[in-house]
Amino acid sequence: MEERDHKKLGPALGLFYIDQTVGKGLPMFLPKGAIIKRELEKFVVEEETKRGYLHVITPDLARLELYKKSGHYPHYRDSMYAPIVIDDEEFMLRPMTCPHHFQLYLSRPHSYKELPMRIAELAQLYRYEQSGELMGLQRVRTFCLADAHIICANEEQAMQEMSDALDLIEHMAGVFGLKLGEHYRYRLSLGDRANTEKYYKNDAAWEKGEDMLRRVMQNRECEFEEAKDEAAFYGPKVDIQMKNANGKEDTAFTCQYDFCMPDRFNLTYIGEDGKDHRAFVVHRSSIGAIERSMAFLIEHYAGAFPTWLSPVQARVLPIADAHKTFAKDVLKQLKDAGIRADIDESNETLGKKVREAKTEKIPYLLVIGDKEMQEQKAALEGRDHGKLGVLPVADIISKLKEEIKNRS
């Protein structure tokens, strides 16, 4: 599967590269890669907003005290960057967003009527991965996570939110053409009561939480594997497992039940009785780290992205100099319609221009010759559909816009 390896395809297609002067595990996105990243982020925000998520923006760093309060510092200290001392205070580049979101929740009192409250963010995170673990976009030291924390009123609400989060994950995976059981699978990741260093000590809560997630998965009537000692330190989780082009399986993203943080942060809400009640928390990610998802998608599509994700969605190919003026007008119409298009004005033969476009895996080609110029049309050729005929430019634009809008 070497031809699908994102570490080779990504740079070859001009999507990203890693500069050793900048640093290991710190990918830089070239213009085409940045387009894909922005499209994925746009997809996340649009889909999550439809489902009642409240998107926020929080800082990339915080006082060390915040991570001591959450318990992340003692548990994840080895994967966090060293503290930064400013004005006699210690700050950390954040490795996760949950403490920020909990502090946002605590900024004012909340009623049971507001719950569940789904706090979401496209958050830039920083984790110290060992040099030997770094791999392309899949294992990096900074990444953008499609993260969310759902504050719930009770266990039943938390179970429903877990199931709804898995519905969202399956929907978004389906848009990418990924099928449960074929391209990804579920793993129920459990704790280990004997490992008190790794996990928050509360045996009863662990038993209850693991049983809740097990019932969520059983109610969904889907296959899942149980794995001991793979949970987060604050609770059990459902992991979405995917394999890369080299056959190595990794956790793409997760959905987690948290019985620890509500106590640590004193997360409460005002109930119907007017009294404070302890909240319940679900952590989840819809498509995980954007970088890791891009790695999987580059390999899944072998670089031939669907039209909505493609950096260049259409290329105009004038056959000769005499056709360039009309070709430029067609290009303008495409761009004015919001379609990412370019033009090949080189003096190469049409055959070579087409081969170059196919090497770049561009979804649509609009060929302009004498006939097309006279009729004010273009010969449309699809990467996945072959020759589609000579069509009015307006019809071509409508077709592409519909395909892009539907993310088909």
Share of the chain above pLDDT 90, in %: 83
Share of the chain above pLDDT 70, in %: 98
Closest CA to 76 of 129, 123, 23, 124: 129
Q: In this structure, how many other beta carbons lie within 10 angstroms of the beta carbon of residue 267?
A: 20
Distance CA 198, CA 385 (A): 53
Closest CA to 318 of 352, 391, 368: 368
The pLDDT score that the predictor gives to residue 125 is 97
Q: Residues 102-150: pLDDT tens digits? A: 999 999 999 999 999 999 999 999 999 999 889 999 999 999 999 999 9
Residue 48 has phi, psi (to 5 degrees) of -70, -40
pLDDT above 80 for 227: yes
| Beta pairing class for 117-126 and 89-93 | unpaired
Entry pTM: 0.94
Distance CA 60, CA 69 (A): 17
Q: Residues 269-310: pLDDT tens digits? A: 999 999 999 999 999 999 999 999 999 999 999 999 999 999
Asked whether 139 and 7 are in contact (CB, 8 A), the reply is: no
Better pLDDT: 72 or 366 = 366
Report CA-CA distances (Å) from 78 to 37, 47, 129, 288, 408: 29, 35, 9, 22, 42
Q: Label residue 169 by pLDDT band (50, 70, 90).
A: very high
Q: Residues 231-240: pLDDT tens digits? A: 877 788 999 9
SS3 state at 303: coil
Better pLDDT: 261 or 112 = 112
The pLDDT score that the predictor gives to residue 278 is 96
Q: Label residue 180 by pLDDT band (50, 70, 90).
A: very high
The pLDDT score that the predictor gives to residue 308 is 98
- Considering the segment(s) 314-405 as one domain, its CATH architecture is 3-Layer(aba) Sandwich (3.40)
The pLDDT score that the predictor gives to residue 198 is 67
The pLDDT score that the predictor gives to residue 110 is 98
- Tracing tokens 């992340």 back to the chain, one arrives at 72
Report CA-CA distances (Å) from 136 to 120, 173, 247, 377: 26, 22, 15, 43
What is the fold of 2-301? Answer: BirA Bifunctional Protein; domain 2 (3.30.930)
Better pLDDT: 235 or 176 = 176
Q: Residues 185-222: pLDDT tens digits? A: 999 998 877 676 666 677 787 888 899 999 999 999 99
The pLDDT score that the predictor gives to residue 199 is 67
SS3 state at 361: coil
Sheet hosting strand 84-86, strand order edge to edge: 61-63, 89-93, 84-86
Q: Label residue 259 by pLDDT band (50, 70, 90).
A: confident
Query: Tokens standing for 289?
Result: 């780290």
Report CA-CA distances (Å) from 202 to 131, 231, 241, 279, 407: 34, 14, 27, 17, 45
The pLDDT score that the predictor gives to residue 208 is 87
Domain boundaries, the chain: 2-301, 314-405
Asked whether 316 and 369 are in contact (CB, 8 A), the reply is: no
**Burial class of residue 349 in the structure, from the number of CB atoms within 10 Å of its CB (0-12 exposed, 13-18 middle, 19+ buried):** exposed
Distance CA 389, CA 402 (A): 18
Distance CA 180, CA 158 (A): 23
pLDDT above 70 for 383: yes
